[in-house]
Amino acid sequence: MNTALAELKQRLAEIDDLQRALSVLNWDARTMMPPRGAAGRAEAAATLAGLVHERFVDDEIGRLIDRAAPLADELDYDSDDASLIRVTRRDWEKERRVPSEIAANLAREAGNAHVAWLEAREANDFAAFLPALQRVTAVALRWAECMEPGDSPYDAFLDEYEPGMKTAEVKAVFDVLRPELTKIVRESGEPADNSFLEGDYSIATQQEFNAGILRDFGFEEGAYRLDPTVHPFATSFGRTDIRMTTRYRDDFLGSIWPTMHEAGHGLTYQGTDPSLARSPLYGNASLGLGESQSRTWENLVGRSLPFWRGRLPELQRLFPQLEPIDLDTWYRGINRVAPGLIRVESDEVTYSLHIILRFELEQELVSGTLAPADLPEAWAAKMQELLGVEVPDDRRGVLQDVHWTRASYGYFPTYALGNVLSVQIWRAVEEELPDLDAQLEAGEFRPLYESLQRRLYRHGAKFTPMETLERAIGASEIDPQPYLAYLREKVAGLRPA
Amino acid sequence: MNTALAELKQRLAEIDDLQRALSVLNWDARTMMPPRGAAGRAEAAATLAGLVHERFVDDEIGRLIDRAAPLADELDYDSDDASLIRVTRRDWEKERRVPSEIAANLAREAGNAHVAWLEAREANDFAAFLPALQRVTAVALRWAECMEPGDSPYDAFLDEYEPGMKTAEVKAVFDVLRPELTKIVRESGEPADNSFLEGDYSIATQQEFNAGILRDFGFEEGAYRLDPTVHPFATSFGRTDIRMTTRYRDDFLGSIWPTMHEAGHGLTYQGTDPSLARSPLYGNASLGLGESQSRTWENLVGRSLPFWRGRLPELQRLFPQLEPIDLDTWYRGINRVAPGLIRVESDEVTYSLHIILRFELEQELVSGTLAPADLPEAWAAKMQELLGVEVPDDRRGVLQDVHWTRASYGYFPTYALGNVLSVQIWRAVEEELPDLDAQLEAGEFRPLYESLQRRLYRHGAKFTPMETLERAIGASEIDPQPYLAYLREKVAGLRPA
């Protein structure tokens, strides 16, 4: 075996160990840590993150990549080893571009902006967040200047989440979505009744139902957890230690879909080829591809008629107050389309419009055509234009999301790309599995999981997003049409008979 | 400010960050981790532990200590800075003595022995554990050879847990305890009835009671957690992130005392001077001193008559089945003295005899006068001699504890030293607080905590155990007499009137 490759792998494995340790710290901070542990935790996490960075940008990693490169040329492009060398070179060259002073500044200003944002949101006062937003954005733009010459700053931001993807490609997709989605929303008619989701819904019983869902989706016993948090998320410390969270309220049956959403992320981790463990290739190729799978299990499975035809009786047994609700009423209720103020509460149709709004504002912010001080006004205008709703205050407007506190421009679009990709991939699975609907109704998720695992999950982060899509379904472009067709058909099916 | 000292502090702070990250990994592994996460976690923990070691034994740490040493000579011996330089030199010189090959071997053989022990215990078969025990002991003896010349191997082991203490000092204490404790046990008469602890005891209600205890003991809000585990323990990632665990069964009211025990450890962490945060001086001076405080809150408080005079009514409200149990019956039941097989289930009087047994066997093992193969027989003989009980099998005999899987010889004695020290320190507090009994009855624990905090907890690991005891109560020796007097008086008070 090539000794340079062996040594490179050993170094990357140890870096991955430290990265996973950092992930445990972050999971704990968000699920278990007593609030007053935050300051000490921030110090430990910063030291560990600094060490991960320092070890990765080491000159020796570059030398080992160079020494292993001839081997990569001989190997099959798709082999684990060739992929490891290729992806490591890409990431190493990128991370080396950023002077540590800028990285440290960015981390510090993001920390400050997060504190300012929490206070500003509480006080419902964008002006209190503005100075911190300006500072973190300024540092982020300096960071972007370090990136690939020829790329726009927004390209640089986007590349963090969708390696190799350009702003123009996203814009092309969104330019198709924008008019069509607003049209579908307009034509969706009177929002269905979903008031039955409010009431007395014991958290313990919701937990029991969710546990059954995760088991049936195909999680391996003794290899995952589901915990309560305010903001649901999923992470993983290896394919047999997957951590998901969801949000519970005892007066609202709302934990099911966040659970299925995070389960979708979890399944991509579980499905990653075991040979990629303890390497930078473990995980997802991009945020958009990851999100396509959370959306698949949340929406394409979890808001589908076949799924609930099979599952509603169990839910009614657990919550007898749902017995009077028939399948049709239930299905229309949980798929209620109604323009609203809050992204994370929005439905399948309006969701991507919330994203397009942010994508457009971000580009203006980054290019300097929109001053940060004018954000609330621009936000309100676009909400009116895209969703036809009035923004009453900053809290329910521009201050609702955490992402800009880290100047994570380019992150939001991946959510909508995930929606689009989810249907594109689903169509291929449907062709492969003619009995898919019957399987969903019967609670047999194994064929679906195995198809997605074989097409997508097993590849981890070996390829670029588009290379991965090519291997998953033979397509090399993001195509918004299947997603639009799916939404049109779905909305048509929601109208009262 | 001295730049060498400043740089030393910065390096030690970062090492402490990594050490705390490792502690988070270990806490998670014991409380939250899905079982199949173990292999991946072991890799991450090993890498992190290796890094902590590597950074600490760095030549540069030694140079910084040397450069800072003249300052230490000028400063007050008790100052934080002088203590940091002194303790760091001691630990650095000690850790440098061990070749990394031996440290790695020890870690690997301990891992193997742990697996072998789990299987052997399950199979109730000491012979299945023997080869692994022999191997880990052999490596541990090589480790001991690297330590201070002139010390016996057992001195070297003991020094890991009681810095600076010698085997002869422990032996002197245990030689006094041995005959007196066996005499007290013999004279304790018929064991009291404690069958009321068995029954229907909802875990949720036990948790409610325990939460009240922790609050009243003086834990600061938002700065600690209590979780369920099989083997209770306490750890801390800083004085405002303290993690304790206890053991629950819904058919046994057994979680209260482990909770108070771990709370005792937790209070020492909370009480450490904030100036020692993020340094190697945060924590306890020794295992024995730490254990003295877990025993204080578990036994001297939690099995005392004044405490339960105040608290039993609340417990009876939570568990109405206890209403027929009067204070006297309760007190005698929870202090039941009865020789038994299992250390962790033993009472206040017999506990130290279980320790003396292990201390004596360990010394023979380490000096080579007892062959590991003969351990079960020697164990049975000593159990008969010290406690008068017959050992029916290995599981309830020599295989009951985990400590020897790591060849942690010298660890067990610290438990009995903790018992002895707890009463020695308690006597000083009693003199200071004439109303202590009334305070315990009223649930006012603040004066007790503040006295212990001022005497002991605030010092963290600044001093050797004996220097710490000197500062806490003005004594410079471990004196077993107060402990024996306490037990004699207690046992006398337990006899039916």
Return the SS3 of B20.
Answer: helix
How many residues make up chain B in this entry? 497
CB contact under 8 A, B28 and A33: no
Name the amino acid, one letter, at A202: S
Beta pairing class for A234-236 and A242-246: antiparallel
CB distance A418 to A469 below 8 Å? no
Task: Name the 3-class secondary structure at A146.
Answer: coil
Distance CA A213, CA A224 (A): 13
Nearest-by-Cβ selection for B37 from A39, A46, A240? A240
As a whole number, mean pLDDT of residues B1-10 equals 91
Output the pLDDT for position B318. Answer: 98
CB contacts of B242 in chain A (<8 Å) are: 34
The mean pLDDT of A31-46, rounded to a whole number, is 93
Does position B489 have pLDDT exceeding 90, yes or no?
A: yes
Query: How is residue A480 written in tokens?
Result: 């918004």
Structure tokens at A242: 């997957």
Does B458 score more than 70 pLDDT? yes
Do A44 and B241 lie within an 8 Å CB cutoff? no
- B-chain residues within 8 Å CB-CB of A278? 40, 43
Sign of CA pseudo-dihedral A452, B43, B55, B163: positive
Residue A25: which of B14, B21, B39 has the nearest Cβ?
B21
Which residues of chain B have a CB within 8 Å of the CB of A47?
14, 17-18, 21
Give residue B58's pLDDT: 97
User: What are A195's two structure tokens?
Assistant: 């008031």
Beta carbons within 10 angstroms of residue A259's beta carbon: 29
Is residue A460 within 8 A of residue A276, CB to CB? The reply is yes
Q: Which residue has the higher pLDDT, B496 or B363?
A: B363
Distance between CA atoms of A23 and A19, rounded to whole angstroms?
6
Assess whether pLDDT exceeds 60 at residue A351. yes
Q: How many A×B Cβ pairs under 8 Å?
A: 111
| Helix extents (H) in B272-392 | 287-295, 305-318, 327-334, 351-367, 375-387
Radius of gyration of chain B (CA): 23
| A243: pLDDT strictly greater than 80 | yes
Q: Which residue on chain A is closest to B43 by alpha carbon?
A: A17
Task: List the single residue in A41, A51, A222 with the smallest CB-CB distance to B34.
Answer: A222
What is the structure's pLDDT at A2?
84
Q: Chain B residues contacting A, CB < 8 Å?
A: 13-14, 17-18, 20-22, 24-25, 28, 32-37, 39-41, 43-48, 51, 220, 222-225, 237-238, 240-242, 277-278
Nearest Cα to Cα of residue B295 among B346, B333, B251: B346
Asked if A21 and B240 come within 8 Å (Cβ–Cβ), the reply is: no
Q: A236: exposed, middle or buried (C-beta count within 10 Å: 0-12, 13-18, 19+)?
A: buried
Distance (Å, whole) CA B358 – CA B356 = 5
Contacts of B125 (CB under 8 A, 6+ apart): B394
Residue B418 half-sphere exposure, CB side, CA atoms within 13 Å?
29
| Burial of B230 (C-beta count, 10 Å sphere; 0-12/13-18/19+) | exposed
Q: Which two tokens stand for residue A447?
A: 């064929």
pLDDT at B323 > cutoff 80? yes
Which residues of A are known catalytic residues? 262
Selected for mutation to probe chain B from A24, A25, A41, A220 (highest B CB count within 10 Å) is A24
Q: B109, B160, B162, B262: which one is catalytic? A: B262
> What pLDDT does A1 receive?
56
Contact A224 B18 (CB under 8 A): no
Q: C-alpha angle A345/A350/A351, rounded to 5°?
A: 55
Please calculate the CA angle B63-B69-B75 and round it to the nearest 5 degrees.
150
Beta carbons of B34 and A237 less than 8 Å apart? no
Please state, for a pLDDT cut of 90, what percent of chain B lies above it. 94
**Residue that the structure tokens 């139902």 belong to:** A209
Residue B59's pLDDT band (cuts 50, 70, 90): very high
The Cα angle at residue B430 between residues B425 and B434, in degrees rounded to 5: 165
Choose, out of A11, A17, A54, the residue to mutate when testing the contact with B (most B CBs < 10 Å). A17
B-chain residues within 8 Å CB-CB of A241? 33-34, 36-37, 40-41
Provide the pLDDT confidence category of residue B135 given band limits of 50, 70 and 90. very high
Of A17, A44, A238, the CB nearest to B17: A44
Contacts of A238 in chain B (CB under 8 A): 37, 40
pLDDT at B151: 82
DSSP B242-302: EEEEE--BTTB--SHHHHHHHHHHHHHHHHS-GGGTTSTTSS-S-HHHHHHHHHIIIIIIT
SS3 call for A235: strand
DSSP class of B236? E
Nearest CA in chain A to B40: A238
3-class state of residue A323 by DSSP: coil
Q: What is the spatial distance between Cα B406 and Cα B112, in angstroms, rounded to a whole number? A: 9
Per-residue pLDDT at A497 exceeds 70: no
Distance between CA atoms of residues A97 and A149, nearest Å? 11
CA atoms of B67 and B4, how far apart (whole Å): 6
B487: nearest Cα among B179, B178, B185: B185
CA nearest B238 in A: which residue?
A40
CB-based contact B458:B270 (threshold 8 Å) = no
The contact set of A with B (CB < 8 A) is 13-14, 17-18, 20-22, 24-25, 28, 32-37, 39-41, 43-48, 51, 220, 222-225, 237-238, 240-242, 277-278
Chain-chain contact of B36 with A240 (C-beta, under 8 angstroms): yes
Report the distance separating Cα A374 and Cα A130, nearest Å: 10
pLDDT value, residue A149: 81
Mean pLDDT of B70-75: 93
- State the smallest CA–CA distance between residue B262 and chain A in angstroms: 17
Given this model, what pLDDT does residue B179 score? 97
Residues of chain A positioned with their CB less than 8 A from the CB of B237:
37, 40-41, 44
B409: its two tokens: 């010889």
Q: Inter-chain contact B44–A25, Cβ cutoff 8 Å?
A: no
Distance CA A84, CA A61 (A): 12
Mutate: best of B11, B31, B43, partner A, most A CBs <10 A: B43
The residue among A56, A237, A272 with the most chain B CBs within 10 A of its CB, best to mutate, is A237
Contact A43 B222 (CB under 8 A): no
| C-beta atoms of A277 and B35 within 8 A | no
Predicted confidence at residue B1, as pLDDT, reads: 56
The conformational region for residue B495 under phi > 0 = left, psi -120 to 50 = alpha, else beta, is beta
Whether residue B252 contacts residue B40, with contact meaning beta carbons closer than 8 Å, is answered with: no
> What rounded mean pLDDT belongs to chain A?
96
Q: What is the pLDDT of residue B496?
A: 75
State whether B34 and A238 contact (CB < 8 Å): no
Strands A242-246 and B234-236: unpaired
pLDDT digits (tens, 9 = 90+) for B7-42: 999 999 999 999 999 999 999 999 999 999 999 999
Contact A400, A342 (CB under 8 A): yes
Q: What is the mean pLDDT of residues B113-135?
A: 95
Whether the CB-CB separation of B179 and B316 falls below 8 Å is answered with no
Residue A43 has its nearest CB partner, among B41, B222, B278, at B278
pLDDT at A71: 92
Sequence-distant (6+) residues with CB within 8 A of A368 are none
Nearest to A21 among B48, B225, B277 (CB): B48
Closest by Cβ to B47, choosing from A14, A33, A222: A14
Q: What pLDDT was estimated at residue B497?
A: 65
Nearest CA in chain B to A225: B34
Residue with tokens 């149990």: B325
Rounded-to-integer distance, Cα A487 and Cα A480, Å: 11
* B-chain residues near A45 (CB < 8 A): 21
Cα Rg, chain A, nearest whole Å: 23
CB B294 within 8 A of CB B262: yes
Does an H or E element contain B113, and which? helix B100-123
pLDDT at A142: 95
Instruction: List the end-to-end C-alpha distance of chain A, in Å, as a whole number.
Output: 67
Name the strand (E) or helix (H) holding A231.
none
Please state, in angstroms and rounded to a whole number, the distance separating the CA atoms of residues B226 and B211.
8
> What are B229-249's pLDDT values in tens digits?
989 999 999 999 999 999 999
Q: Mean per-residue pLDDT for B267-288?
A: 97
Q: Are the CB atoms for A100 and A93 separated by under 8 Å?
A: no
Contact call for residues A483 and A490 (beta carbons, < 8 A):
no
Q: What is the pLDDT of residue B379?
A: 98
DSSP codes, B27-84 = HHHHHT--GGGHHHHHHHHHHHHHHHHHHHS-HHHHHHHHHHHHHHHHS-TTSHHHHH
Secondary structure (3-state) at B376: helix
**Looking at beta carbons, which residues of chain B come within 8 Å of A237?**
37, 40-41, 44
pLDDT at A442: 98
DSSP SS3 for B436: helix
Which chain A residues have a beta carbon less than 8 Å from that of B220? 36
* Closest C-alpha among B258, B220, B263 to residue B239: B220
- Beta carbons within 8 Å of A148's beta carbon, 6+ residues apart: A155, A156, A159
Average pLDDT over residues B168-190: 95
A237–B41 CB contact, under 8 Å: yes
Measured between CA atoms, how close is B47 to chain A, in angstroms? 6
Per CB-CB distance under 8 Å, the chain A contacts of B276 are none
Token code pair at residue B469:
């005891």
